[in-house]
Amino acid sequence: MENHVLLNNDSTALGVESGKLQLVLATADKNQWGRNYIPMFIPGIYGISKTLGNAGTSRVMRWTPTATNNTEYKVTVLVYKEQDWGFFGPNLSSLTVSYTSDASATAAEITAGITSAINAIGAYWGITATDGATYVDVTSNTTVPQNINVLNSGAGSATVAQQTAFVKPYGLATYLQALGLTTATTGAVYHSYEFSFGQPSDSGRAGIVSSNVNQTIWVNAASTTLVGLLDAFIAAPFTSPAAFTLERE
């Protein structure tokens, strides 16, 4: 994909040639490079940012019923699929399951019934229920990624509380592969380095910027040497960090 490039190998080096920030690639990274990377003219860089990759954390909501005889219990799960944003925000779906207790109700009976009902259809919605005997934990799927909320929507009394907060994943290999960066290592997490810079004009007048360009470099988080080089550059882009030399023409 244009202006998105991917680096997997720690042997890749950072340097400057003719006033341009350039990357010296390891062999394994060269195959996907091609037209995606534009050498960045150092004086033209006006914006640099880094976003840390993370594997994400599933949200866990706990539903705890109070056992009452011959009572219908309902649980509604709201599913926010955050990759499917529409005009009014993320795509929102909901599912409701129910269980009616018998004449000698116990919490274990109720949680088992609700857990079974959620898991019967949960795979389609990307959620999982776990029976804790006195409560049910409902867990979201971070692969999609998505967030959830749980509501008690029946006559039966129950409390709902968050156990684990949702953290949206970022920089997953599956996402990068979908972008067309097919050499992303499955299971790996990538940091992104986003550069905004002006390209020198081709008109022959030095210093005239003809266009603004955004470029994102995705770096395997396990490539600690390369991560360190890029971190040093964005911390002090014009002061020649010890790891390499930056010169302004």
C-alpha 115/C-alpha 100 separation (Å) is 13
The position carrying tokens 């911390």 is 235
Contacts of 206 (CB under 8 A, 6+ apart): 200
Res 150: pLDDT: 94
Share of the chain above pLDDT 90, in %: 37
Task: Please say if the pLDDT value at position 110 is more than 90.
Answer: yes
Nearest to 77 by CA among 132, 135, 130, 127: 127
52-56, 76-80, 112-116, 232-236: lowest mean pLDDT where?
Answer: 232-236
Res 196: pLDDT: 82
| Choice between 1 and 113, residue whose per-residue pLDDT is larger | 113
For CATH 2.60.40, the residue range(s) in the chain are 60-164
Task: Please say if the pLDDT value at position 203 is more than 60.
Answer: no
Query: Looking at this protein, which amino acid is placed at residue 146?
Result: Q
Res 133: pLDDT: 97
| Choice between 126 and 30, residue whose per-residue pLDDT is larger | 126
User: Under a CB-based contact definition with an 8 Å cutoff, are residues 42 and 21 in contact?
Assistant: yes
Res 217: pLDDT: 86
Res 174: pLDDT: 87
| Residue-wise pLDDT tens digits, 123-147 | 888 899 999 999 999 998 766 667 8
Mean pLDDT score across all residues of the chain: 79
Q: What is the dihedral of CA 151, 153, 155, 161, to 10 degrees?
A: 0
**Range 60-164 classified under CATH 2.60.40:** yes
Res 30: pLDDT: 52
User: Under a CB-based contact definition with an 8 Å cutoff, are residues 9 and 29 in contact?
Assistant: yes
